[in-house]
């Protein structure tokens, strides 16, 4: 084999490796931007970066298959009124109000088109479009789970309400903010 052919083969192999590297970097950047803090959480809790990224791409695919829709303005107003009512209940019944907030967020997810069959799947589905508020949902859910056994303080319950509100607002206004895409 002539040296020119060997050099050409080496150049082609190097170009292929460079193209694959650039493609992987672009794909990784896309996942980081799309999932926000959820990207790092998935990588840290997964077996490997590759496995975590595969899982995140699977979440994207499932999310793309969902029939998500923005809320009509009348529904947004109704949900906002219901949230205000839940907050008012907090004064006299904080534990019950946190449970009501959880139920309201779940109803809102369902109306937007998210499946609500289980908490873990809810988190996975929400992570694609709401990764920046997902930690709020996790924190609120954890407090709500403990609230049934009287193992929470009023301050923890107040914090749960704040956390639920972050996801609630994100779900309620999605599609109306500049730069947000409708599903």
pLDDT digits (tens, 9 = 90+) for 65-112: 999 998 999 999 999 999 999 999 999 999 999 999 999 999 999 999
pLDDT-based confidence at 180, cuts 50/70/90?
very low
- Tell me the average pLDDT across 17-44: 86
Q: For the ranges 69-73, 87-91, 140-144, 171-175, which has the lowest average pLDDT?
A: 171-175
Higher pLDDT, 67 or 1: 67
Which pLDDT value is given to residue 1?
A: 76
Q: Against a cut of 0.75, is the pTM above it?
A: yes
Please provide the DSSP assignment of 62-114 as one string.
Answer: HHHHS---PPPHHHHHHHHHHHHHHHHHHHH-HHHHHHHHHHHHHHHHHHHT-
Cα 84 to Cα 89: distance, rounded to the nearest angstrom: 9
Is it the case that residue 46 has pLDDT exceeding 80? no
Which pLDDT value is given to residue 139?
A: 94
Which pLDDT value is given to residue 80?
A: 96
The mean predicted confidence, pLDDT, of the chain is: 88
How far is the CA of 81 from the CAs of 2, 66, 75, in angstroms? Answer: 79, 27, 10
């Amino acid at each position: 084999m002539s040296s020119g052919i060997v050099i050409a083969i080496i150049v082609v192999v190097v170009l292929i490796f460079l193209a694959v590297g650039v493609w992987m970097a672009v794909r990784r950047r896309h996942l980081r931007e799309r999932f926000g803090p959820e990207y790092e959480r998935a990588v840290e809790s997964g077996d490997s970066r590759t496995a975590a990224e595969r899982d995140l791409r699977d979440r994207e695919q499932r999310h793309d298959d969902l029939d998500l829709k923005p809320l009509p303005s009348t529904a947004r107003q109704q949900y906002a009124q219901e949230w205000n009512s839940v907050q008012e209940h907090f004064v006299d019944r904080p534990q019950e109000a946190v449970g009501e907030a959880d139920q309201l967020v779940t109803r809102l997810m369902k109306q937007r088109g998210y499946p609500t069959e289980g908490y873990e799947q809810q988190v996975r589905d929400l992570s694609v479009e709401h990764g920046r508020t997902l930690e709020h949902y996790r924190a609120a859910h954890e407090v709500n789970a403990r609230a049934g056994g009287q193992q929470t303080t009023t301050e923890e319950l107040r914090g749960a309400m704040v956390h639920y509100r972050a996801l609630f607002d994100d779900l309620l206004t999605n599609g109306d903010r500049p730069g947000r895409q409708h599903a």
